[in-house]
Protein backbone atom coordinates (compact mmCIF):
# COMPACT_ATOMS: atom_id res chain seq x y z
CA UNK A 1 0.00 0.00 0.00
CA UNK A 2 1.28 3.43 -0.98
CA UNK A 3 -0.14 6.86 -0.22
CA UNK A 4 0.24 9.88 -2.50
CA UNK A 5 0.51 12.85 -0.13
CA UNK A 6 -1.10 15.79 -1.93
CA UNK A 7 -0.55 17.80 1.26
CA UNK A 8 2.85 18.73 -0.19
CA UNK A 9 1.27 21.01 -2.80
CA UNK A 10 1.76 24.74 -2.05
CA UNK A 11 -1.76 25.22 -0.65
CA UNK A 12 -1.73 21.91 1.18
CA UNK A 13 -4.21 19.96 -0.93
CA UNK A 14 -4.94 18.28 -4.24
CA UNK A 15 -7.28 21.17 -5.12
CA UNK A 16 -4.24 23.29 -6.03
CA UNK A 17 -4.11 21.33 -9.28
CA UNK A 18 -7.74 22.05 -10.17
CA UNK A 19 -7.50 25.72 -9.23
CA UNK A 20 -4.42 26.32 -11.36
CA UNK A 21 -5.74 24.42 -14.38
CA UNK A 22 -9.19 26.03 -14.36
CA UNK A 23 -7.93 29.61 -14.05
CA UNK A 24 -4.73 29.48 -16.09
CA UNK A 25 -6.60 28.29 -19.19
CA UNK A 26 -9.12 31.15 -18.89
CA UNK A 27 -6.30 33.68 -18.47
CA UNK A 28 -4.65 32.31 -21.59
CA UNK A 29 -7.81 32.58 -23.69
CA UNK A 30 -8.62 36.07 -22.39
CA UNK A 31 -11.80 35.28 -20.46
CA UNK A 32 -10.04 36.26 -17.24
CA UNK A 33 -8.22 39.58 -17.21
CA UNK A 34 -5.98 40.41 -14.23
CA UNK A 35 -7.03 43.65 -12.58
CA UNK A 36 -10.53 43.54 -14.06
CA UNK A 37 -12.07 40.07 -13.69
CA UNK A 38 -13.62 38.65 -10.51
CA UNK A 39 -13.60 34.92 -9.76
CA UNK A 40 -16.54 33.62 -7.72
CA UNK A 41 -16.73 30.01 -6.54
CA UNK A 42 -18.32 27.76 -3.93
CA UNK A 43 -15.91 25.74 -1.79
CA UNK A 44 -15.75 23.80 1.45
CA UNK A 45 -12.21 25.08 1.86
CA UNK A 46 -9.40 23.45 -0.09
CA UNK A 47 -10.37 24.63 -3.56
CA UNK A 48 -10.95 28.07 -2.08
CA UNK A 49 -7.36 28.13 -0.86
CA UNK A 50 -6.08 26.98 -4.24
CA UNK A 51 -8.10 29.64 -6.06
CA UNK A 52 -7.00 32.31 -3.58
CA UNK A 53 -3.37 31.46 -4.35
CA UNK A 54 -3.78 31.64 -8.12
CA UNK A 55 -5.94 34.78 -8.01
CA UNK A 56 -3.49 36.46 -5.66
CA UNK A 57 -0.59 35.63 -7.94
CA UNK A 58 -2.31 37.02 -11.05
CA UNK A 59 -3.93 40.00 -9.35
CA UNK A 60 -7.53 38.82 -9.72
CA UNK A 61 -10.23 39.52 -7.14
CA UNK A 62 -11.67 36.32 -5.63
CA UNK A 63 -14.92 35.76 -3.73
CA UNK A 64 -15.42 32.38 -2.07
CA UNK A 65 -18.86 31.27 -0.87
CA UNK A 66 -18.67 28.92 2.12
CA UNK A 67 -21.05 27.59 4.79
CA UNK A 68 -20.92 26.99 8.57
CA UNK A 69 -19.30 23.57 8.11
CA UNK A 70 -16.27 25.09 6.39
CA UNK A 71 -13.18 24.77 8.53
CA UNK A 72 -12.35 28.09 10.24
CA UNK A 73 -8.66 27.55 9.56
CA UNK A 74 -9.36 27.28 5.83
CA UNK A 75 -11.32 30.52 5.89
CA UNK A 76 -8.45 32.26 7.70
CA UNK A 77 -5.97 31.01 5.10
CA UNK A 78 -8.17 32.23 2.22
CA UNK A 79 -8.46 35.67 3.77
CA UNK A 80 -4.72 35.79 4.43
CA UNK A 81 -4.23 35.16 0.71
CA UNK A 82 -6.50 38.08 -0.14
CA UNK A 83 -9.81 36.33 -0.78
CA UNK A 84 -13.19 37.77 0.13
CA UNK A 85 -15.19 35.11 1.98
CA UNK A 86 -18.99 35.09 2.11
CA UNK A 87 -20.79 32.56 4.31
CA UNK A 88 -24.33 31.31 3.69
CA UNK A 89 -26.19 30.26 6.83
CA UNK A 90 -29.46 28.82 5.51
CA UNK A 91 -29.92 25.23 4.37
CA UNK A 92 -31.79 24.19 1.27
CA UNK A 93 -35.36 23.29 2.33
CA UNK A 94 -35.56 20.40 -0.11
CA UNK A 95 -32.30 18.66 0.85
CA UNK A 96 -31.41 20.12 4.24
CA UNK A 97 -27.93 20.82 2.87
CA UNK A 98 -25.86 23.96 2.38
CA UNK A 99 -24.41 23.17 -1.05
CA UNK A 100 -27.48 24.11 -3.14
CA UNK A 101 -27.65 27.43 -1.26
CA UNK A 102 -23.95 28.08 -1.88
CA UNK A 103 -24.35 27.39 -5.59
CA UNK A 104 -27.37 29.71 -5.84
CA UNK A 105 -25.44 32.47 -4.10
CA UNK A 106 -22.54 32.06 -6.53
CA UNK A 107 -24.95 32.48 -9.45
CA UNK A 108 -26.42 35.60 -7.88
CA UNK A 109 -22.97 37.14 -7.45
CA UNK A 110 -21.90 36.28 -10.99
CA UNK A 111 -25.10 37.85 -12.34
CA UNK A 112 -24.63 41.11 -10.43
CA UNK A 113 -20.85 41.70 -10.50
CA UNK A 114 -19.22 43.08 -13.62
CA UNK A 115 -16.67 40.78 -15.29
CA UNK A 116 -17.43 37.94 -12.84
CA UNK A 117 -16.52 34.37 -13.71
CA UNK A 118 -17.32 31.10 -11.94
CA UNK A 119 -14.94 28.19 -12.65
CA UNK A 120 -17.69 25.76 -11.48
CA UNK A 121 -15.60 22.89 -10.20
CA UNK A 122 -18.63 20.58 -10.35
CA UNK A 123 -18.93 20.65 -14.15
CA UNK A 124 -15.72 22.21 -15.53
CA UNK A 125 -13.80 19.68 -17.69
CA UNK A 126 -10.56 21.45 -16.75
CA UNK A 127 -11.04 20.14 -13.19
CA UNK A 128 -10.49 16.47 -14.10
CA UNK A 129 -7.90 17.40 -16.72
CA UNK A 130 -5.73 18.72 -13.88
CA UNK A 131 -5.58 15.23 -12.38
CA UNK A 132 -4.02 13.55 -15.38
CA UNK A 133 -0.75 14.64 -13.78
CA UNK A 134 -1.84 12.99 -10.51
CA UNK A 135 -1.89 9.58 -12.19
CA UNK A 136 1.27 10.31 -14.17
CA UNK A 137 3.15 10.93 -10.93
CA UNK A 138 1.76 7.75 -9.38
CA UNK A 139 2.75 5.46 -12.26
CA UNK A 140 6.15 7.15 -12.46
CA UNK A 141 6.76 6.27 -8.80
CA UNK A 142 5.02 2.89 -8.97
CA UNK A 143 5.39 1.30 -12.41
CA UNK A 144 3.01 -1.51 -11.41
CA UNK A 145 -0.25 -0.33 -9.84
CA UNK A 146 -3.15 -2.75 -9.45
CA UNK A 147 -5.64 -0.61 -7.49
CA UNK A 148 -6.12 3.14 -7.25
CA UNK A 149 -8.30 4.50 -4.42
CA UNK A 150 -9.76 8.02 -4.79
CA UNK A 151 -12.13 9.93 -2.53
CA UNK A 152 -15.01 11.72 -4.26
CA UNK A 153 -16.57 15.18 -3.93
CA UNK A 154 -16.68 17.16 -7.18
CA UNK A 155 -15.58 13.93 -8.97
CA UNK A 156 -12.70 15.88 -10.53
CA UNK A 157 -9.94 13.63 -9.18
CA UNK A 158 -11.90 10.46 -9.93
CA UNK A 159 -12.80 11.47 -13.49
CA UNK A 160 -9.31 12.76 -14.27
CA UNK A 161 -7.62 9.61 -13.01
CA UNK A 162 -10.13 7.39 -14.82
CA UNK A 163 -9.70 9.28 -18.10
CA UNK A 164 -5.93 8.90 -18.02
CA UNK A 165 -6.00 5.24 -16.98
CA UNK A 166 -8.53 4.24 -19.66
CA UNK A 167 -6.89 6.34 -22.41
CA UNK A 168 -3.53 4.70 -21.74
CA UNK A 169 -5.09 1.28 -21.17
CA UNK A 170 -3.44 0.81 -17.80
CA UNK A 171 -4.43 -2.39 -15.96
CA UNK A 172 -5.60 -0.50 -12.87
CA UNK A 173 -8.80 -1.12 -10.91
CA UNK A 174 -10.29 2.23 -9.92
CA UNK A 175 -11.98 2.35 -6.53
CA UNK A 176 -14.16 5.36 -5.70
CA UNK A 177 -14.58 6.05 -1.99
CA UNK A 178 -17.72 8.04 -1.22
CA UNK A 179 -19.23 9.22 2.06
CA UNK A 180 -22.18 7.26 3.36
CA UNK A 181 -24.09 10.52 3.74
CA UNK A 182 -23.33 11.56 0.15
CA UNK A 183 -25.66 11.56 -2.85
CA UNK A 184 -23.00 10.85 -5.48
CA UNK A 185 -23.17 7.07 -5.77
CA UNK A 186 -26.55 6.49 -4.22
CA UNK A 187 -29.08 7.99 -1.83
CA UNK A 188 -27.54 9.69 1.18
CA UNK A 189 -27.68 7.50 4.27
CA UNK A 190 -27.52 9.71 7.35
CA UNK A 191 -25.61 12.98 7.59
CA UNK A 192 -22.05 14.10 6.90
CA UNK A 193 -19.88 16.08 9.31
CA UNK A 194 -16.62 15.99 7.35
CA UNK A 195 -16.32 18.72 4.69
CA UNK A 196 -14.80 17.91 1.33
CA UNK A 197 -15.82 14.23 1.21
CA UNK A 198 -18.96 13.36 -0.70
CA UNK A 199 -21.59 15.83 -1.89
CA UNK A 200 -25.25 16.52 -1.25
CA UNK A 201 -25.86 16.99 -5.00
CA UNK A 202 -24.50 14.68 -7.70
CA UNK A 203 -21.90 16.70 -9.67
CA UNK A 204 -22.09 16.99 -13.43
CA UNK A 205 -18.62 15.46 -13.60
CA UNK A 206 -20.08 12.24 -12.21
CA UNK A 207 -20.27 9.20 -14.45
CA UNK A 208 -21.53 5.75 -13.56
CA UNK A 209 -18.63 4.21 -15.48
CA UNK A 210 -15.83 6.15 -13.76
CA UNK A 211 -15.15 3.59 -11.03
CA UNK A 212 -14.77 -0.18 -11.24
CA UNK A 213 -15.62 -0.47 -7.55
CA UNK A 214 -17.51 1.91 -5.25
CA UNK A 215 -17.09 1.87 -1.47
CA UNK A 216 -19.09 4.06 0.91
CA UNK A 217 -17.60 5.03 4.26
CA UNK A 218 -19.21 6.69 7.27
CA UNK A 219 -17.64 9.56 9.19
CA UNK A 220 -16.73 7.44 12.21
CA UNK A 221 -14.62 5.00 10.19
CA UNK A 222 -12.94 7.89 8.35
CA UNK A 223 -12.07 9.62 11.63
CA UNK A 224 -10.79 6.38 13.15
CA UNK A 225 -8.53 5.78 10.15
CA UNK A 226 -7.15 9.33 10.44
CA UNK A 227 -6.33 8.79 14.09
CA UNK A 228 -4.66 5.44 13.40
CA UNK A 229 -2.57 6.94 10.58
CA UNK A 230 -1.38 9.70 12.91
CA UNK A 231 -0.52 7.30 15.73
CA UNK A 232 1.09 4.52 13.71
CA UNK A 233 2.46 6.13 10.55
CA UNK A 234 3.04 9.74 11.69
CA UNK A 235 0.92 10.89 8.74
CA UNK A 236 -1.51 13.70 9.59
CA UNK A 237 -4.29 13.90 7.00
CA UNK A 238 -7.84 15.14 6.51
CA UNK A 239 -11.09 13.21 6.66
CA UNK A 240 -11.26 12.17 3.00
CA UNK A 241 -7.81 10.57 3.31
CA UNK A 242 -8.99 8.61 6.32
CA UNK A 243 -12.04 7.56 4.30
CA UNK A 244 -9.77 6.20 1.55
CA UNK A 245 -7.94 4.02 4.07
CA UNK A 246 -11.24 2.86 5.57
CA UNK A 247 -12.49 2.06 2.08
CA UNK A 248 -9.47 -0.10 1.37
CA UNK A 249 -10.00 -1.89 4.66
CA UNK A 250 -13.59 -2.65 3.64
CA UNK A 251 -12.55 -4.55 0.52
CA UNK A 252 -9.14 -5.84 1.58
CA UNK A 253 -10.38 -9.45 1.42
CA UNK A 254 -11.23 -8.94 -2.27
CA UNK A 255 -7.69 -7.82 -3.14
CA UNK A 256 -5.33 -10.55 -4.25
CA UNK A 257 -2.18 -11.09 -2.18
CA UNK A 258 0.79 -9.18 -3.55
CA UNK A 259 -1.30 -6.54 -5.33
CA UNK A 260 0.00 -2.96 -5.28
CA UNK A 261 -2.54 -0.42 -3.99
CA UNK A 262 -2.13 3.33 -4.41
CA UNK A 263 -4.25 5.75 -2.40
CA UNK A 264 -4.63 9.47 -3.04
CA UNK A 265 -4.57 11.46 0.23
CA UNK A 266 -6.11 14.83 -0.75
CA UNK A 267 -4.99 17.12 2.06
CA UNK A 268 -3.15 17.63 5.34
CA UNK A 269 -4.53 17.21 8.84
CA UNK A 270 -3.58 20.51 10.48
CA UNK A 271 -6.87 21.99 9.27
CA UNK A 272 -8.77 19.40 11.29
CA UNK A 273 -7.07 19.75 14.66
CA UNK A 274 -10.23 21.14 16.27
CA UNK A 275 -12.47 18.46 14.75
CA UNK A 276 -11.11 15.06 13.69
CA UNK A 277 -8.14 15.22 16.07
CA UNK A 278 -10.01 16.80 18.98
CA UNK A 279 -11.30 14.23 21.49
CA UNK A 280 -14.06 16.51 22.80
CA UNK A 281 -15.40 17.22 19.31
CA UNK A 282 -15.45 13.54 18.42
CA UNK A 283 -17.16 12.67 21.71
CA UNK A 284 -19.79 15.38 21.18
CA UNK A 285 -20.85 14.21 17.73
CA UNK A 286 -20.05 10.48 17.73
CA UNK A 287 -19.68 9.36 21.33
CA UNK A 288 -16.78 7.30 22.63
CA UNK A 289 -15.38 5.58 19.54
CA UNK A 290 -11.75 5.53 20.66
CA UNK A 291 -11.73 1.72 20.60
CA UNK A 292 -11.76 1.95 16.80
CA UNK A 293 -8.37 3.66 16.84
CA UNK A 294 -6.76 0.63 18.37
CA UNK A 295 -7.93 -2.02 15.91
CA UNK A 296 -5.25 -3.86 13.84
CA UNK A 297 -4.15 -1.76 10.91
CA UNK A 298 -2.12 -2.14 7.73
CA UNK A 299 1.21 -0.48 7.03
CA UNK A 300 1.25 2.44 4.57
CA UNK A 301 4.30 3.75 2.76
CA UNK A 302 4.16 7.40 1.61
CA UNK A 303 5.25 8.07 -1.96
Local mean pLDDT, 10-residue blocks, the chain (303 residues): 96 96 95 96 93 97 95 93 96 87 96 96 94 96 95 96 97 97 90 86 93 97 96 95 97 96 96 94 94 67 57
User: CA 271 to CA 236: how far, in whole Å?
Assistant: 10
Domains and CATH numbers, the chain: 14-117 (3.40.50.1100), 125-287 (3.40.50.1100)
Q: Vertex 43, ends 72 and 67: CA angle to 5°?
A: 55
User: CA 197 to CA 206: how far, in whole Å?
Assistant: 14
- DSSP state letters, 23-78: HHHHHHTTSS-TTT-EEEEE-SSHHHHHHHHHHHHHT-EEEEEE-TTS-HHHHHHH
Beta carbons of 119 and 39 less than 8 angstroms apart: yes
Strand ranges, E, within the chain: 2-5, 38-42, 61-66, 84-87, 116-117, 147-151, 173-179, 213-217, 261-265, 301-302
Instruction: Characterise 195 by phi-psi region: left (phi > 0), alpha (psi -120 to 50), beta (else).
Output: beta
| Interior/surface letters 208-234, b for 16+ CB within 10 angstroms, e for the rest | eebbeebbbbbbbbbbbbbbbbbeebe
User: CA 250 to CA 248: how far, in whole Å?
Assistant: 5
Beta carbons of 181 and 189 less than 8 angstroms apart: yes
Beta carbons of 223 and 282 less than 8 angstroms apart: yes
Identify which of 198, 172, 166 has the alpha carbon closest to the alpha carbon of residue 185: 198
Predicted TM-score of the model (pTM): 0.91
Amino acid sequence: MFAKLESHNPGGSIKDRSALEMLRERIRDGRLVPGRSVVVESSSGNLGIGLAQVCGYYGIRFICVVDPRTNRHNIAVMRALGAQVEEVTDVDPATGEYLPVRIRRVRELVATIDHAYCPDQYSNPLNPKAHHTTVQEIVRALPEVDYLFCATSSCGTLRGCAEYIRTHQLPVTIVAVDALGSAIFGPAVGWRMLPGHGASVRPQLYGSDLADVVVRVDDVDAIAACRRLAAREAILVGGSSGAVVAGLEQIRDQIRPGATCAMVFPDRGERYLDTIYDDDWVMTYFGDVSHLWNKPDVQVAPC
